[in-house]
Amino acid sequence: MCGSLDVTHGQADAEGQWKSASFGSVQLGRKGAVHCKRHRQSDEVNVIGRVCRYHACPLRATFGSPQTRTLEYCSVHKLDGYIDLVHRKCSFFNCDTVASFGDPGDRMPVACAYHRETGHIYVVSRKCGHLEGCETQAVFGDSNGPAKFCSQHKLPHHIDVVNKKCNIPEGSSNRGFGSSAARMNYKRPRLFAEPLLGAGAPRI
pLDDT tens-digit series, residues 84-107: 888 888 888 888 888 888 888 877
State the amino acid at position 58 in one-letter form.
Answer: P
What is the domain extent for residue 107?
88-124
Whole-angstrom Cα distance, residue 137 to residue 151? 9
Q: Is residue 48 part of a domain?
A: no
| Pair (117, 131) in one structural domain | no
Structure-model confidence comparison of residues 179 and 67, the more confident one: 67
Across the strands, what pairs with 89? 98
pTM (two decimals): 0.40
Q: Is the pLDDT of residue 55 over 50?
A: yes
Q: Per DSSP, which regions of the chain are E strands?
A: 11-12, 18-19, 23-24, 33-35, 45-46, 63-64, 83-84, 101-102, 121-122, 140-141, 159-160
131 falls in which pLDDT band (50, 70, 90)? low
Calculate mean pLDDT across residues 157-167: 74
168 falls in which pLDDT band (50, 70, 90)? low
Please tell me the total count of domains within the chain. Answer: 2
Q: Is residue 119 part of a domain?
A: yes
Q: Is residue 5 part of a domain?
A: no
| Pair (114, 137) in one structural domain | no
- Residue 147, judged by CB atoms within 10 A of its CB (0-12, 13-18, 19+), counts as buried
Q: Is the pLDDT of residue 58 over 70?
A: no
Q: Is residue 93 part of a domain?
A: yes
Q: Is residue 182 part of a domain?
A: no
Calculate mean pLDDT across residues 52-80: 85
Q: Is residue 196 part of a domain?
A: no
Q: Is the pLDDT of residue 35 over 50?
A: yes
